[in-house]
Chain A
């Protein structure tokens, strides 16, 4: 199996990326202006009270010491207590994770289900002018529309007029999955608009690129029907750049979720992180951003494996570089 030749090296580099990210996250969070003790205890507290609070949370130790302590605990799954709520960070994040995972999952599903067919259609009909121009305009609008604008527009329309779906009324997917999905439908659609447009554009370009390859010309010369050629020879080859884009989309979904959750008032990880930032809740911010990084690193790893399965040349190149 070719995969086994490069997978260990790729795993190692994923761990190094995570470690590096953890240092960056720790440093970035600690360089935020504003003092936690000041915010928690309020302006009326005296220096003695603040000092006591800092000591109880270990803020009096040196930064490298704090980092190593945090990393050691994090490796064991202990992200500490939320400074604001005094609850274990892991529990706080775990209770919100299903919401964000469902939101991102739904957006990804919409992206794949609409973006790829749209791109394949636009790519295979690129020579017929009108269809391709329409696809280009739609994808340009989709790519350039920020989700907070679109989100606010949707919130306005659906709260002003009775359009069947309500905004603001949220059901947790852990209590009622079906209603949870329905209540996340609008946020997921808003979140997916950019991804659908980007996927459609990339798929279209990939299909056009594959169509001019000599092996497609060879199939045409063998008298194969168009549908047959697209099914067997175009789709798989065009999938390679689209898979690469999927890694970027994963990162985008994580970031976009923060904004969309905020706009639609969805109690997921994104809105929780924004709240934690407001409160200078270091432990929550650190754990949340590290979680997002881990999701992205794992997603990239999975996509690399998938790309290796779709394109036999990739794994060979990786193996060569590793050796």
Chain B
């Protein structure tokens, strides 16, 4: 089966005030339809850039000197404005990290949902139905509220409802639970994966919460310094990692430690470990 998402050796550079920062450095990732892929890596590893790249949603100062991105056969980096818009609208869904700021502060929830569902049935009953699908309590009342009047968890449910209403082929969720309270995190995660499974949506789940990735994703890709350095079935990558960075990452995960046990502070050595790995790689390349 061919890949619905195929990122081939992409390099992304940001130019900021004369200096060029390389965010992706030959990253590759191929995902088949229906897969659930957890993309892990520390801040700055390039996972957000990779996620935004799928919808060509990078800021204006981003350049793509190398590589190609295919979504369902469409060459994303070469598409015209209209085709790109249609692709985002019909094939892709994005869930951001901070749900409250993802909603228009001056507009009632009901009106925002109505606008987001343009082209689909968007009468009152349909809106209530969408909120019920994300298990929102008192949907009628919520529709009349403004974003500053709801909690982060409610806002994230609304964003999920907006995104999943169009049954996207690929869902890109960029740390969607990072801004939420821990008690609603698992609920929201469960909700997203449940809706995605029902709609047959492929999920790209960006996170550094290894435990939830291990629980919900069939496959894990590890990013370091702008590349995917390890990629495979979740239990294999997280259970017996081969890349030194993944080893360090797994060891430093507080969730994997028994209560009372001292956490190995090998995360301090992550950079050194990975640097040595890269040195080796460069030696091999020569």
Interchain residue pairs with CB less than 8 A apart (7): A215-B101, A218-B94, A221-B88, A223-B85, A223-B87, A224-B89, A316-B148
Min CB distance B158 to A, Å, is: 11
Q: Does B98 contact A (CB under 8 A)?
A: yes
Are B90 and A223 within 8 A (Cβ)? Answer: yes
Asked if B263 is an interface residue, CB under 8 A from chain A, the answer is no
Query: What's the minimum C-beta distance from B60 to chain A, rounded to whole angstroms?
Result: 6
Contact with B along A212-253 (1 / 0, CB 8 A): 011101101111110000001100110010000000000000
Known: A222-B162, A223-B85, A232-B115. A311 touches B105 (CB 8 A): yes
Chain B residue with minimal CB distance to A212? B59
Report the minimum CB–CB distance from A129 to chain B (whole Å): 12
Separation of A223 and B54 alpha carbons in the complex (Å)? 13
Residues on A with C-beta less than 8 A from B90 are: 223
A215 adjacent to B148 (CB under 8 Å): no
**Total contacts A to B, CB within 8 angstroms?**
66
List chain A residues, Cβ under 8 A from B104: 215, 232-233, 236-237
Chain B residues lying within 8 Å of A220, measured Cβ to Cβ, are 57, 88
A215 with B103: CB separation less than 8 A: yes
Within 8 A of B (CB), among A185-219: 213-215, 217-218
Complex contact A237–B148 (CB within 8 A): no
Whether A222 and B88, one on each chain, are in contact in the complex, defined by CB atoms closer than 8 angstroms, is: yes
* Residues on B facing A (Cβ under 8 Å): 55, 57, 60, 85-90, 92, 94, 96, 98, 101-107, 115-116, 146, 148, 159, 162-163
Q: Interface on chain A toward B: helix, strand, loop, or mixed SS?
A: helix
- Does A31 touch B at the CB level, under 8 Å? no
B69 to chain A, nearest CB (A): 15
Top 8 nearest A-B pairs (CB, nearest first) are A223-B89, A223-B88, A214-B101, A221-B94, A218-B102, A312-B146, A223-B85, A236-B106
Q: Are B148 and A223 in contact (CB under 8 A)?
A: no
Residues of chain A with a CB closer than 8 A to B89's CB: 222-224
Q: B105, B106, B107 — which one has the most chain A CB atoms within 10 A of its CB?
A: B106
| Interchain CA distance A66-B116 in the complex, whole Å | 65
Answer whether residue A76 sits at the interface, using C-beta atoms and an 8 A cutoff. Answer: no
Nearest chain A CB to B130 CB, angstrom units:
14
Q: Shortest distance in angstroms between B221's beta carbon and chain A's nearest beta carbon?
A: 21
Interface flag for A127 (CB, 8 Å): yes
CB-nearest residue of chain B relative to A311? B106
Distance between B162 CB and nearest chain A CB, rounded to angstroms = 7
A127 to B60, CA, bound (A): 9
Most chain B CB neighbours (cut-off 10 Å) among A221, A225, A237, A311: A221
Provide the residues of chain B in CB contact with A160, threshold 8 Å. Answer: none
Residue of B nearest to A314 (CB): B106
Whether A237 pairs with B57 at a CB distance below 8 angstroms is: no
Provided the pairs A220-B57, A312-B146, A316-B148 are in contact, do residues A215 and B105 lie with their beta carbons within 8 angstroms? yes
Q: How far is the CA of A223 from the CA of B88 in the complex (A)?
A: 5
CA distance A209 to B8 in the complex (A): 35
* B148 x A313 contact (CB < 8 A): yes
- Report if A310 contacts B (CB, 8 A): yes
Find chain B residues with CB under 8 A from A214 CB: 96, 98, 101-102
A214 to B102, CA, bound (A): 5
Complex: how many Å from CA A222 to CA B92? 8
Contact of A312 among B55, B98, B102, B106 (CB under 8 A): B106
**8 Å CB contact of B102 from A215, A232, A310, A316:** A215
| Least CB distance, A37 to chain B, in whole angstroms | 59
Contact, CB under 8 Å: B96 / A218: yes
A143 to B60: give the CA distance in the assembly, Å.
Answer: 31
With both beta carbons as reference points, the residue of chain B lying nearest to A310 in the complex is identified as B106
List of A residues within 8 angstroms of B105 by Cβ = 215, 237, 311-313
B5, chain A: closest CB distance, angstroms: 16
